[in-house]
Amino acid sequence: MITAKYFGAKDKNSLKKTIHTAIAVSFSIGAVFMVIGLTAAPTLLKLLDTPQEIFDTAVVYIRIYFLSFISIVSYNIGSGLLRALGDSRSPVLHQLIGGIFNVIANAFFIWILGWGVQGAAIATFISQSIAAFLTIRRLTKLQETYKLTAKELKIDKSNLIETLMVGIPAAIQAVAITFSNLVVQYHINSLGVDSVAAFTCYFKVEQMIYLPIMSLGQAATVFTSQNIGAGQINRLKKGLKQILCVGLLITLALSFSTLSFSSLAFGLFTSQAEVVAVGQSIASVTFPFFFLYVFIEVLTSSFRGAGHAVASMVIVICNICVIRSILLFPIMRHYFSAQGVAMVYPITWAGCALCLWLFYFISDWLPKESRPYE
């Protein structure tokens, strides 16, 4: 959002500071969380009541995953910068290339080398690193004075403060969702080894559906910021409707095609028939309702682009974090199964989407000014 503002204003000096500050911060944050994760992995897994028979394997998996944190953070921030500069194609292409390598690496490490869960973690590390490298490389190849260079890589204090004013609500939301995921993982771990493995595979299969939605949401943020800056409110409203329609069509197609070939999809990540069966049962509960996430991603991104990050944060935290965590306990008392855990996802997706729609129609989240549509 900050980058898009300076890009629209053609303020190349501030834009240069923003890009270099953002990348320097991404490296720093990624390194801090990587060290924390590597150090605290055993303690975290004990708090989550991880079954003893998979504890050592889980520690290795988590530590390899945390090695990816610099790549994960730098890709997300770097791709956001590119989209703000009008390049929405490169981030998707970089993620697609990383995803292809992820599938290939999973097949190689799991099927050929037989490394199991550790192989899956290494595949994730490789794919995230490739996507991050390509994104950073693209920023260094910009044909502008604000292109990324190693000698200019530093944190500008004033620019950092401005960025934090926008980023802190998003960061709080991310932390809250992470805590909610820990609560979910606690219940998953109580179901046994097969369910733990099934959910691990499920979250990988789910990425095939989620990543296009995430890309549309990120595009919605830039689209909203640029059109508000240009005073094109009518074009913004029309564009958001088109983004939602495209997202719904893509998500419905991917959800039902993945569900139809779920045995093949889960088979890419595990050779155990019991794990595949549990994974299919999870997908049968969530995939038919995955279209609801389109509304969540696009609307929250649009609100954030319009400067209403706090409002979208509150709505998401209340539904996805608080209500989901509370619902898990009564549901698991009556449906103690992997499907029981899965049930909280469509329920809280529906609640969150409804609240976001109410905010869209009731609040004054858009400015009144509107220039003639061009």
| Predicted local distance difference test score (pLDDT) of residue 291 | 95
Residue 5 sits in the same domain as residue 131: yes
Q: Same domain, yes or no, for 310 and 216?
A: yes
Residues recorded for the chain: 374
What is the predicted pLDDT for the residue at 218?
79
**Can you tell me the distance from the alpha carbon of 358 to that of 43, in angstroms, rounded to the nearest whole number?**
41
Q: What single-letter DSSP state applies at residue 114? A: -
The Cα 319–Cα 107 span in angstroms is 36
Whether residue 320 sits in one domain with residue 194: yes
Structure-token match 């539904």, residue found: 319
Are 63 and 190 contained in the same domain? Answer: no
Report pLDDT for 134: 92
- The 8-class DSSP code of residue 141 comes to T
Residue-number span of the structural domain to which 114 is assigned:
1-155
If asked whether residues 199 and 110 sit together in one domain, one would say no
* Neighbour-count burial for 194-211, b at 16+ CB within 10 Å, e otherwise: bbbbbbbbbebbbeebbb
Chosen domain end from 128, 155, 182: 155
Residue 92, judged by CB atoms within 10 A of its CB (0-12, 13-18, 19+), counts as buried
Asked whether residue 373 is domain-assigned, the answer is no
Domain boundary among the residues 129, 155, 181 is at 155
Cβ neighbours for 211, distance < 8 A, ≥ 6 positions apart: 95, 99
In a domain, 356, yes or no: yes
Cα–Cα separations (whole angstroms), residue 277 to 83, 271, 334: 39, 11, 21
Identify whether 372 is part of a domain.
no
| Pair (195, 311) in one structural domain | yes
Does 374 map to a domain?
no
Same domain? For 147 and 208 the reply is no
* CA distances for 274 relative to 34, 119, 209, 281, 346, angstroms: 33, 19, 23, 11, 24
CA–CA separation, 23 vs 81, rounded Å?
9
Residues 190, 60, single domain; the answer is no
> Taking Cα atoms as reference points, which of 90, 48, 40 lies closest to residue 65?
40
User: Cα–Cα distance between 198 and 238 in angstroms, integer?
Assistant: 41
Please, which residues have CB within 8 angstroms of residue 144's CB and are 6 or more apart in sequence?
Answer: 12
Q: Say if residue 76 is in the same domain as residue 193.
A: no
Query: How far, rounded to the nearest angstrom, does the alpha carbon of residue 90 sit from its chain's CA centroid?
Result: 17
Residue 346 falls inside a structural domain: yes
Cα gap 171→240, rounded to integer Å: 24
* Other CB atoms within 10 Å distance of the CB of residue 157: 8
Q: Say whether 367 sits in a helix, a strand or coil.
A: coil
Q: Answer for the pair 133, 79: CB distance below 8 angstroms, yes or no.
A: no
Per-residue pLDDT tens listing for the chain (374 residues):
667 666 666 667 777 888 888 888 888 888 988 898 888 888 888 877 777 777 888 888 888 888 888 888 888 888 878 877 878 788 888 888 888 888 888 788 878 777 777 788 888 888 889 999 999 999 888 877 778 888 888 887 777 776 776 667 777 777 778 778 878 888 888 888 888 888 888 888 998 899 899 888 878 888 887 787 777 788 888 999 999 999 999 999 999 999 999 888 888 888 788 888 988 999 999 999 999 999 999 999 888 888 788 888 899 999 988 898 888 889 888 888 888 888 999 999 999 999 999 999 888 888 765 544 44
> Based on the structure, what is the number of domains in the chain?
2
40 and 120 within one domain: yes
pLDDT computed for residue 355 by the predictor: 95
Residue 5 lies in a domain: yes
User: Given 101, 127, 155, which residue is the final one in a domain?
Assistant: 155
CA-CA distance, 210 to 100, in Å (whole number)? Answer: 15
Q: Is 59 exposed, middle or buried (0-12, 13-18, 19+ CB in 10 A)?
A: middle
| Gap between the terminal Cα atoms of the chain | 23
Alpha carbon separation from 77 to 46, 96, 153, 167 (Å, rounded): 32, 17, 14, 11
Question: What is the pLDDT, as a whole number, of residue 7?
Answer: 66
**What contacts 168, CB < 8 A, 6 or more positions away?**
none
Do 125 and 236 sit in the same domain of this protein?
A: no
Quick check: is 161 in a domain? Answer: no
pLDDT given for residue 162 in this prediction: 67
- Per the domain annotation, does 265 fall within a domain? yes
One domain for residues 278 and 259:
yes
How high is the pLDDT of residue 67?
A: 86
| Cα of 114 vs its chain's centroid, Å | 29
Q: How many helices (H) and strands (E) does the chain have?
A: 15, 0
